[in-house]
Amino acid sequence: QKEVEQDPGPLSVPEGAIVSLNCTYSNSAFQYFMWYRQYSRKGPELLMYTYSSGNKEDGRFTAQVDKSSKYISLFIRDSQPSDSATYLCAMGRGAQKLVFGQGTRLTINP
C-alpha cells in the first residue's frame, strides 16, 4: 500500500461546477498537508498549505484535513477552464520531506 493514495482520474467537469479532489494517507505522523497545481510541462506550484487538521479557504479554493480519517480534500468552487491541470497532494511530518500523491488530472470544459 502506498503511503499516499490519490485517484489519478482523469476528471472532467463543466465550467462552474464544484470540484472535489481527495487523498488518503497511512502515516499518522504527517502534520503538514499541501496541494500543488501542475500545468502541462510545468513545475508544480503551491496552491494550499495546511498544518494539522481543519479547513483553510483561499478565494475559490478550500482545503480540508481530517486527521482522524487520514483524509484530505481540495474543493474548487466556480471552476474555470484555467483550473484545468494536474493537482498533487503532498504531506509530511515536516514540510521538507514530502510524500506526494500521484496527482489527479482535471479538465474543466467551457
Partner 1 sequence: DTAVSQTPKYLVTQMGNDKSIKCEQNLGHDTMYWYKQDSKKFLKIMFSYNNKELIINETVPNRFSPKSPDKAHLNLHINSLELGDSAVYFCASSGEGATDTQYFGPGTRLTVL
Q: Which residues bind partner 1 (CB under 8 A)?
A: 8, 32, 34, 36, 41-46, 49, 51, 86, 88, 90, 94-98, 100, 102-103, 105
What is the Cα–Cα distance from 32 to 11, expressed in whole angstroms? 26
> CB of 4: closest distance to partner 1 in angstroms?
10
> CB of 26: closest distance to partner 1 in angstroms?
16
Q: Pick the closer one to partner 1 by CB: 49 or 61.
A: 49
> CB of 6: closest distance to partner 1 in angstroms?
10
Q: Distance between alpha carbon 48 and the CA centroid of its chain, in Å? A: 8
Q: Pick the closer one to partner 1 by CB: 19 or 90.
A: 90
Measured over all CA atoms, what is the biggest interatomic distance in the chain, rounded to whole angstroms? 41
CA distances from 58 to 55, 74, 77 (A): 10, 11, 11
Q: Pick the closer one to partner 1 by CB: 13 or 99.
A: 99
DSSP state letter for 27? -
> CB of 92: closest distance to partner 1 in angstroms?
9
